[in-house]
Structure 1
């Protein structure tokens, strides 16, 4: 009964994989897709998307990471897969469907809700290989419904885990019949601030808050405070402005916690 982190393009880069795997509940992660055209890619391209190649293909908390390739040329897909193995990849995932419009335009497959989990059961019954179910799993209840309808033991979480960063942990505790208290907004805010600080050096200042703002939009599904905080920082672009906003939010939350 494995729980995997899905490869969300433009969202789940190595910092996010490290954060979510540290929270717990995950058995594995998959990188964002690495686009393959008609050439052998250099190591720097693989490393850009799979920095875990430098750490035995594991996150800092020891969770295995599969490297994903996307392309429609079998020869160069195989050639680049061989290169990845040479560079230390333990497992390679092939992308056969993605909701990104740029991918659809290049014959990369597609997806749009809802997820028809019962169709997975039909496919699984005809295959001898393992099948991992996914799609529209936003809660512990969704997880159990997905498993029942798909008849799959293993499940992959995508947007649901971004919107609820401890969803895998919640599921794991439910499976083990262990008590668990979901992460509070204070804990989520601290996590986001750490993420912001670790990724700030990677972007020009005017773009330094974009990934955090994107994550806040996902989080607003489960945390009303995330929507409010997004509104507060959405027009802020300078590093010191966003840093100050986080400090003010955390100070407010900590003072509120200590006053109870």
Structure 2
């Protein structure tokens, strides 16, 4: 089974190698992601996130899902000393950095509940997989036609935060300025909820975020700093050596 749809502002591709998995399992994945987009997008004025951000919904009126997402946001705000913050002054509430990984991980769990054992779900370059090993390429932060590493992913997730797609869009909440200490930072973890949140939070911290992310249990890190130097943890599951990032 192979499906691709454009959801939440980026392409989402699903490959399932289980021959007997019903098409309805993929339908459920994309229906869930469309629901997330409707409920949690800060760009839709009627979404739950937008209404909460404007003060129309207090904390006691939030859905359990949004309460969980905001708890995760607060966890990473505290853990990074405020570098990661979804409530920046002068800006609307924007938990997208957590919502993406959290929602795609939930979609993967829907697949597994339906009986999928071997699949890859790729959401705009962030990947959750099962039944590998799968080979996942990480784009070179300065050359769009090159990879800086290829990793082997069996059961788990990988996410990358970088400046190459959307420019300096990740803000250091401590300064209110774009985080520019890194070119890219990739995290491998057990879930995409953690991998995506940690990658963004660490990127917001700048160069110090590499050590912070690497200190977290179960997280492996591959980073390219602003000078082009490659740093990676010993357990990062490299399938092929970096080609030209250094």
For the criterion TM > 0.5, the same-fold answer is no
More helix as a share of residues: 1
More strand as a share of residues: 2
Q: TM-score w.r.t. structure 1 length?
A: 0.29
Q: TM-score w.r.t. structure 2 length?
A: 0.30
